[in-house]
Structure 1
């Protein structure tokens, strides 16, 4: 079962200007080093006329793989500060390229660190960052007399319904966060005086994008 963590679902582009130098941050989701390197190469080709294209990425639910590059800026003034933003925000499976068009004025070490860090923050603000959670599919079988109580409990705990079937009896498939599974099952049993039938199914990672439920595959690194 994978852990709960924040990840880039959709990338974005953010920009800031510091003493006439433009810093353009391009953010994208990635799930492998190869994917990150392809993105970096494509972005460098897009901004081929820029002075610098500095990079950072982190992959894995525990940041197992991290890389960064100053791309010709003074050591430690670009790539590492960019990566530090990703790690401080605890965002996983994400890559960012900050492109600099030189404005003619030197910024100094501190100015570069602030500019590259600030550009990454702008890029993240324009991206969609979600929280990946671990859940379990729970099959619920009951009669109609207890349906209202079950729906109330599901609404109270914000448990989404994946499937339903209303025939002679009621069948619901719910997606329950792992941390709530035991207490939710106990609440259902108590609330129906033990008449409900519960069957635990497969684990399922998911995220909520506003009110939209997104089921996530298990192929991403953990």
Structure 2
């Protein structure tokens, strides 16, 4: 699993322009899965049901994971809409992003080159408007320890940007800690060392992204 962080969209943006009397409306949104990408596409199609074309592309996972890519020309000549849209998205280094470009035709033919430029250019302009945030890849650790060691272990969390997400108190204390995947091993070693090997650290099966 790739544990490096990547950028994702912080909000939905739109960019509109008129080219030879055709209106092109580009909308970008954060879509963390293929299902959510398709839901966004469907919502735009309903929003612009009167438009002749709602062409789209998505990068539904990590930016470089082509298994999570998709695109459609939605009736435009093959290769003139979906591929240029996807090319802009996949080249942006932003993950979990979808684009739908709606075209209200003005009756003037743009030609294949004009369509490629219009669809790709709309996404390129919309990408300039978008704000991104960094998505960190995290995992969960279970720490079992005596009450006397809790403060010592908790003092390490800030150092490793770790967060305590759950605590259970019985004969011993069990803490569930969320930490970036690439810091989990170092945090585990530090907990064991600082506790004199009295704290037990184990991974929780679920990996969170």
Instruction: Provide TM-score, normalisation by structure 1.
Output: 0.67
Between 184-193 and 119-128, the greater mean CA deviation after superposition: 119-128
Matching residue of 2:14:
14
Are 1:138 and 1:175, in contact at CA under 8 Å, matched by a contact in 2? no
Q: After superposition, where does 1:119-138 map in structure 2 within 5 Å?
A: 119-121=122-124, 122=126, 126=130, 131=135, 133-138=137-142
Q: Which residue of 2 aligns with 1:201?
A: 204
With normalisation by structure 2, the TM-score equals 0.70
Q: What's the offset of the Cα at 1:198?
A: 2.4
Q: Contact conserved, 2:165 with 2:178, CA < 8 A, in 1?
A: yes
Query: Cα offset for 1:73?
Result: 4.0
Identify the residue that residue 184 of structure 1 maps to in structure 2: 187
Determine the C-alpha separation between the residues in 2 that align with 1:45 and 1:200.
Answer: 44
Counterpart Cα distance in 2 of 1:203 and 1:110:
48
How far does residue 185 in structure 1 lie from its aligned partner after superposition? Answer: 1.1
Shift of residue 60 of structure 1? 5.7
User: What count of residue pairs does the alignment treat as equivalent?
Assistant: 204
Residues 1:40 and 1:185: Cα distance change in structure 2 (over 3 Å): closer
Distance 1:152 1:171, change over 3 A: same
C-alpha distance in 2, partners of 1:51/1:25? 14
Over aligned residue pairs, what C-alpha RMSD do you find? 3.9
Q: CA deviation at 1:137?
A: 2.8
Describe the SS at the equivalent of 2:156.
helix
Check whether the contact 1:74–1:109 (CA below 8 A) recurs between aligned residues. Answer: yes
Gaps of 5+ in 1: 207-222
Aligned mates of 1:143, 1:37 — CA distance in 2: 49
Any conservation in 1 of the 2:37–2:60 contact (CA below 8 Å)?
A: no
More strand by share: 1
In the alignment, which residue of structure 2 is the partner of 1:158? 161
| 1:48 match | 49
Q: Deviations over 1:162-216 (max 9, x none)?
A: 112467764421123332222211111222333323233323213xxxxxxxxxx
The Cα shift of 1:22 comes to 3.4
Map 1:1-222; keep pairs closer than 5 Å: 12-19=12-19, 21-28=22-29, 29=31, 31-32=33-34, 39-59=40-60, 62-64=65-67, 66-91=69-94, 94-102=97-105, 112-121=115-124, 122=126, 126=130, 131=135, 133-144=137-148, 146-165=149-168, 170-206=173-209
Structure-2 separation of matches of 1:120 and 1:11: 15
Q: Could you tell me how far apart the structure 2 residues matched to 1:71 and 1:107 are?
A: 16
Deviation at 1:51, TM superposition (A): 4.0
